[in-house]
Amino acid sequence: MSLNLTRRDLARLITRIENGERGAQEALNALYPHTGRARVIGITGAPGSGKSTLVSEMARAWRLRSGLDQPQVAIVAVDPSSPFSGGAILGDRIRMRDLYGDSGIFIRSMASRGALGGIAAATADVVSALDAYGFEIVLIETVGAGQLEVDVARIAQTVIVVEAPGAGDEVQAVKAGILEIADVIAVNKADREGVAQTISALQSALDIAPANGHHGARAATELASDDGTGWRPPIVKVSALNREGIVELLAAVDTHRDYLVATGEGERRYQQRIESDIKARLRELLLQTAMRRITQIDYQAVLAAVGQRSLHPAEAALKLLDSLHL
C-alpha cells in the first residue's frame, strides 16, 4: 500500500466526502494519481429484487475464486432516498453481517448529505478513494431506475441489472427503461416460480430495446441484436439465496470486461465518463458562483415577476445571467 491509509482513515474520508466537507478535496487530489486499477461494477434493480444478497454472494465468490491471490472487495450501497442512515441501510448492514468476518471485504452504506454535485459525484469520489486504497473490486449497489442509476452506470465499467420473477408476468424494469443501462442481466430468485417467463420477457425486451443507449455506444435506432461487434447483455439465472449461478454471473462480468478491452469500448466509455464528470462538477460550480454573485434585489425581483406570470422562467434566468455582466 503506497498511500499509508488505514481502514479507519478510509472510513473517515468517506464520511467527509459524504458530508461534502471542504478538506476532503485535498485528500482526493492526493489520491487521484493512485486510481484507475479497480474494477468497478454497478448493481441496480427494483427494491427487494435481491441486490444486497447477490452483492454479498458475489463478493464472497470473488474472494474464494482466486485462491491465494484473493482480491480486496469493497461494497458501497448507495441509497438516494434516505439522506440519513435509514431502515434500508440498516437492513443491508444486517444482511451483509456475515461478511464482516472477512477483512478483505469492506462494506459501506452511503447517503448524500449535501455533497457538492450530489450523490453521483460523491459516489464517484468514494469509488476513487476505495480504488486508491487498493480495492481491486468495487461493487456499487443502487436501488431503482432513475437518473441516479444512469449516473452510477457511468461510474461503473459493468452494470448488472437484477430482475426477479413474480409480481405478475410483467418485467417492471422494461417499462422504466432500466435495461438500457444493463451490460449483464441477473435473473435472481431463480429458485422461485416464473423464472422462464421472466427470462423470455427479458429476451423479447432486448430484441426491441436499443442496447446501452446511455453510453451512446450506438445510435438509438440500432437494435441490440443487430450489431456484429456490439454487446447484447447476457441473461444469467441466479439464486443468491441458494448460492447458485454466482460463478456464472462473475464469468459474464469477466466476458464483458474482455469485450470492453478488445473493442476499445472501455476506453471510449472512460473518456466519456471523465468528460461528463467534469461537466457535472462545472455546472454545479457555475451555479454556486452565480448564486453568490446575483444580488438579492435582482433575485427577489425576478422571483416575484415569474410568480405573477409577467416574466417567463427562461427570461428570468437570462436576466439573472445578464446581471452578472460575464
Ligand X SMILES: Nc1nc2c(ncn2[C@@H]2O[C@H](COP(=O)(O)OP(=O)(O)OP(=O)(O)O)[C@@H](O)[C@H]2O)c(=O)[nH]1
Q: Does 294 bind ligand X (CB under 6 A)?
A: no
First CA to last CA distance, the chain: 46
Q: Which one of Mg ion, ligand X, none interacts with residue 248, CB within 5 to 8 A by kind?
A: none
Least distance to ligand X, CB of residue 174, Å? 17
- Dist. CA 161–CA 200, nearest whole Å: 16
61 contact partners, CB below 8 Å, separation of at least 6: 246, 247, 250
Q: Does 239 bind ligand X (CB under 6 A)?
A: yes
Residues 82-111 that bind Mg ion (CB under 5 A): 92
Least distance to ligand X, CB of residue 91, Å? 6
Among 16, 51, 108, 256, binds ligand X (CB under 6 A): 51
Q: Does 7 bind ligand X (CB under 6 A)?
A: no
Q: Does 44 bind ligand X (CB under 6 A)?
A: no
* Comparison of 106 and 231: residue with beta carbon closer to ligand X: 106
Among 48, 71, 118, 230, binds ligand X (CB under 6 A): 48
Q: Does 240 bind ligand X (CB under 6 A)?
A: yes
Please compute, for residue 230, the number of CA atoms within 13 A of its CA located in the half-sphere on the CB side.
20
Taking CB atoms within 8 Å and a gap of at least 24, the contacts of 63-69 are 63/102, 63/104, 63/105, 65/247, 65/250
C-alpha cell at 93: 448492514
Cα dihedral 273, 274, 278, 283 in deg (nearest 10): -20
**Site stretch for ligand X (CB under 6 A), options 44-52, 111-119, 263-271, 306-314:** 44-52
What is the maximum span of the chain, computed from C-alpha positions, in angstroms? 71
* Comparison of 93 and 257: residue with beta carbon closer to Mg ion: 93
Q: Which helix (H) or strand (E) element contains residue 139?
A: strand 137-143
Among 53, 72, 123, 212, binds ligand X (CB under 6 A): 53
Question: By C-alpha distance, which of 28, 57, 27 is closest to 43?
Answer: 57
Least distance to Mg ion, CB of residue 48, Å? 8
Residues in touch with Mg ion (CB under 5 A) = 51-52, 92
Residues in touch with ligand X (CB under 6 A) = 47-53, 88, 95, 143, 188-189, 191-192, 239-241
